[in-house]
Amino acid sequence: MLGSSRGYQRAALIWLQRMREAKLLQVEAPPDYASIVTIMERYADLPCDFADATLIDLSERTGVFAIATVDQRDFSVYRSLRGKRFKIVLTS
C-alpha cells in the first residue's frame, strides 16, 4: 500500500508512533510462527500470505477481531483459529 515511497513510509511510521503515544494503538509481542504456518496452510488455496496470517494470529492472541485491511475479499473468507469471523473496518 505504501509502495517504495520513503515519504509515505515515513509518514506512516510517524502516524503509528503518534497513535501508540496516544494509546490508540497497541504494539504486540512477536508473532507465534507455528500458528502462522498453520494459518497459511489452512488458507493455502487463497493464498494466505505472511502479512494476512500475522493479522489472524495477532487477532487470536489479543481477542481483537476488527481488522483494518484493504484485502476485503480474503478477510471475508478467513476465520480465526476459533472460527470467529473478522469485522473489516477499512476497505479500499
Taking all residues of the chain, what is their mean pLDDT, rounded to a whole number?
85
pLDDT-derived band of residue 51, with 50, 70 and 90 as boundaries? confident
- Where are the chain's structural domains? 1-26, 31-90
- Asked whether residue 1 carries a pLDDT value surpassing 70, the answer given is no
Mean pLDDT over 51-76 rounds to 88
What does the DSSP 8-state code read for residue 37?
H
pLDDT-derived band of residue 70, with 50, 70 and 90 as boundaries? confident
pLDDT-derived band of residue 6, with 50, 70 and 90 as boundaries? confident
User: 41, 47, 35, 37: which is closest to 71 by C-alpha?
Assistant: 47
